[in-house]
């Protein structure tokens, strides 16, 4: 597929964070871009405002005339999350159109570019966003495809004038194996997506294959303790090739010193809380130094990084209430998030609202979720968000809740949750999950603002 020849692009599942990035990329290239998704979201509404046509009914009749005829100038992109019985998907399949997975297209775009790929079961969105921001803010520049909305740019795709590209390398469905990076960062390899991989050993094997695809003369940077070799290790709390030292919290911000074999950068300010985010920043600093960016410019860029929406995002912060929202949907992500909240606000009672994501993930990690959620002071659980899955008998939110050790715990509907928060008015609130829990953010903010 030659990108230069593509004039029309249709994306099935356009509302996904990765798919919407591609939609914006092809729109920027001057293509006619349309797509389908099942629900209206702030992201699909934003794309429509940008001139990208989005429909919400999975019917052939909704396809624009220009997409009814198969020709070489038309590209159809789909996400594996789309059901196999999708009418729009099967119209294009039966018509012999050129269909590509999102990951395949990302691989094609990255060919011929200096590619910095960030992989990991968690941490990749924040790490790739920090790298992209440092490259932009320092004047080095880059293009970037991110797995979240970078707050500094209010976008998940950045356009640069040079040949450098930062990309999030997604392990779901082994998507990252379409990439052949110049620099690869691996942030974590915890068991996840076991519906795809079966067990952790196959997931690790997939990461090793990804690492083996680094271009000759390229660099591997990975978190200390991961079962990888042939690169440099990084950490924020144990001895590694690249590390953060002298970590401290001051006036709501984390400060640390960066240290590798050749460079020390002192008293770096990072607005993002938690050791896990310091580790993400350490990896990003190493990449920037590898590219020859001045340490003072790196330090300045980190101080101005505003984070990623739904990654430890402050929704409300005033005298009476603090409300934080996070995308965490794996036990280790939850652990890092809750620990960060507790570190910043040790004297406040923490109320956590959690929505499990996927029946398989709930089944596979029920024990881990229960242990981590017991760290909060009060827990409200929503029902499982099924995403692409059908229910599994015996798997429910109660599976987790029953094993949570704290007494203040309950399962509520979204409406009941809003009513409960209206009465209780918690001083420290955390919402976590990767499903549609984000639809509660604005109502919760309004309740607490007016409390």
Residue 434: inside a domain: yes
Q: Determine the Cα–Cα distance for residues 120 and 141; give it in Å rounded to an integer.
A: 24
- From 248, 276, 303, the end of a domain falls on 303
Same domain, 342 and 253: no
Q: Tell whether the model's pLDDT for residue 252 goes beyond 80.
A: no
Same domain, 357 and 439: yes
Q: Tell whether the model's pLDDT for residue 193 goes beyond 80.
A: no
Reported as a single tens digit per residue, the pLDDT across 27-40 is 999 999 999 998 88
Q: Determine the Cα–Cα distance for residues 210 and 186; give it in Å rounded to an integer.
A: 10
Q: Tell whether the model's pLDDT for residue 122 goes beyond 90.
A: no
Q: What's the rounded mean pLDDT across residues 216-245? A: 95
Same domain, 332 and 280: no
| pLDDT value for 195 | 54
| pLDDT value for 190 | 78
Same domain, 334 and 278: no
Same domain, 143 and 270: yes
The sheet carrying 242-250 orders its strands as 155-158, 143-150, 164-169, 114-119, 183-186, 219-223, 232-235, 242-250, 253-259, 264-270
Q: Tell whether the model's pLDDT for residue 18 goes beyond 70.
A: yes
Residue 367: inside a domain: yes
Reported as a single tens digit per residue, the pLDDT across 333-370 is 899 899 989 988 988 999 999 999 999 989 988 999 99
Residue 391: inside a domain: yes
- From 74, 101, 128, the end of a domain falls on 101
Q: What is the DSSP string of 363-427?
A: HHHHHHHHHHHTTSSEEEEPPPB-TT----TT-SHHHHHTT---SSEEE--HHHHHHHHHHH--S
Domain that holds residue 80: 3-101
Residue 225: inside a domain: yes
Q: Tell whether the model's pLDDT for residue 49 goes beyond 90.
A: yes
Can you tell me whether residue 309 is helix, strand or coil? coil
Q: Determine the Cα–Cα distance for residues 62 and 29; give it in Å rounded to an integer.
A: 24
| pLDDT value for 271 | 80
Q: What's the rounded mean pLDDT across residues 196-207? A: 74
Same domain, 117 and 257: yes
Higher pLDDT among residues 205 and 81, named by residue: 205
- Token pair in block for residue 447: 């309740």
Same domain, 318 and 282: no
| pLDDT value for 105 | 92
Mean residue pLDDT of the chain comes to 92
Q: What is the DSSP string of 78-124?
A: E-TTS-TT-HHHHHHHHTT--EEEHHHHHHHHHTTSEEEEEE-SSSH
State the pLDDT confidence band at 198, using cuts at 50, 70 and 90.
low
Residue 308: inside a domain: no
- Token pair in block for residue 267: 């008293």
Residue 149: CATH number of its domain: 3.40.1190.10
Phi, psi for residue 51 in degrees, rounded to 5: 95, 15
Reported as a single tens digit per residue, the pLDDT across 59-117 is 998 898 888 889 889 999 998 778 888 999 999 999 989 899 988 999 999 988 999 99
Same domain, 274 and 128: yes
Q: Tell whether the model's pLDDT for residue 247 goes beyond 90.
A: yes
Q: How many domains does the chain have?
A: 3
| pLDDT value for 200 | 66
State the pLDDT confidence band at 253, using cuts at 50, 70 and 90.
confident
Same domain, 289 and 317: no
HSE toward the beta carbon, residue 271, CA cutoff 13 A: 17
State the pLDDT confidence band at 270, using cuts at 50, 70 and 90.
very high
Reported as a single tens digit per residue, the pLDDT across 167-180 is 998 876 677 888 99
Residue 106: inside a domain: no
């Amino acid at each position: 597929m030659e990108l230069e020849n593509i004039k029309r692009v249709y994306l099935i599942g356009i509302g996904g964070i990765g798919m919407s990035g591609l939609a914006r990329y092809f729109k920027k290239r001057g293509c006619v871009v349309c797509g389908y998704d099942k629900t209206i979201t702030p992201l699909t509404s934003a794309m429509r405002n940008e001139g990208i046509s989005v429909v919400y009914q999975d019917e052939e009749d909704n396809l624009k005339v220009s997409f009814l005829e198969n020709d070489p100038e038309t590209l159809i992109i789909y996400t594996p999350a789309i059901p196999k019985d999708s009418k729009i998907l099967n119209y294009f399949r039966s018509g012999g159109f050129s269909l590509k997975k999102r990951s395949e297209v990302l691989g094609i775009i990255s060919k011929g570019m200096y590619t910095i790929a960030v992989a990991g079961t968690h941490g990749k969105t924040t790490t790739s966003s920090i790298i992209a921001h440092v490259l932009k803010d320092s004047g080095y520049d880059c293009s970037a495809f991110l797995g979240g909305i970078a707050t500094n740019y209010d976008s998940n795709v950045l356009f640069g004038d040079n040949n450098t590209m930062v990309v999030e390398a997604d392990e779901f469905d082994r998507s990252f194996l379409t990439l052949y990076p110049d620099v690869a960062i691996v942030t974590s390899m915890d068991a996840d997506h076991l519906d795809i991989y079966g067990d952790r050993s196959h997931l690790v094997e997939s990461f090793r294959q990804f690492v083996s695809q680094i271009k000759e003369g390229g660099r591997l940077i990975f978190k200390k303790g991961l079962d990888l070799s042939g690169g440099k290790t990084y950490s924020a709390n144990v001895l590694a090739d690249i590390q953060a030292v002298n970590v401290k919290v001051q006036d709501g911000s984390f400060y640390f010193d960066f240290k590798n074999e050749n460079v020390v950068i002192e008293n770096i300010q990072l607005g993002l809380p938690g050791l896990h985010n310091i580790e993400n920043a350490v990896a990003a600093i190493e990449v920037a130094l590898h590219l020859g960016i001045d340490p003072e410019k790196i330090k300045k860029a980190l101080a101005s990084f505003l984070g990623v929406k739904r990654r430890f995002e402050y929704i409300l912060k005033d005298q009476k209430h603090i409300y934080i929202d996070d995308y965490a949907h794996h036990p280790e992500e939850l652990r890092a998030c809750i620990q960060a909240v507790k570190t910043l606000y040790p004297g406040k009672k923490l109320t956590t609202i959690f929505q499990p994501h996927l029946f398989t993930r709930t089944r596979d990690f029920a024990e881990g979720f229960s242990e981590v959620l017991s760290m909060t002071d009060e827990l409200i659980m929503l029902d499982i968000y099924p995403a692409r899955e059908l229910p599994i008998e015996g798997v429910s939110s109660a599976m987790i809740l029953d094993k949570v050790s704290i007494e203040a715990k309950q399962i509520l509907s979204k409406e009941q949750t809003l009513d409960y928060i209206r009465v209780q008015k918690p001083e420290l609130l955390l919402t976590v999950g990767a499903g549609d829990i984000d639809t509660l953010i604005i109502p919760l903010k309004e309740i607490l603002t007016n409390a």
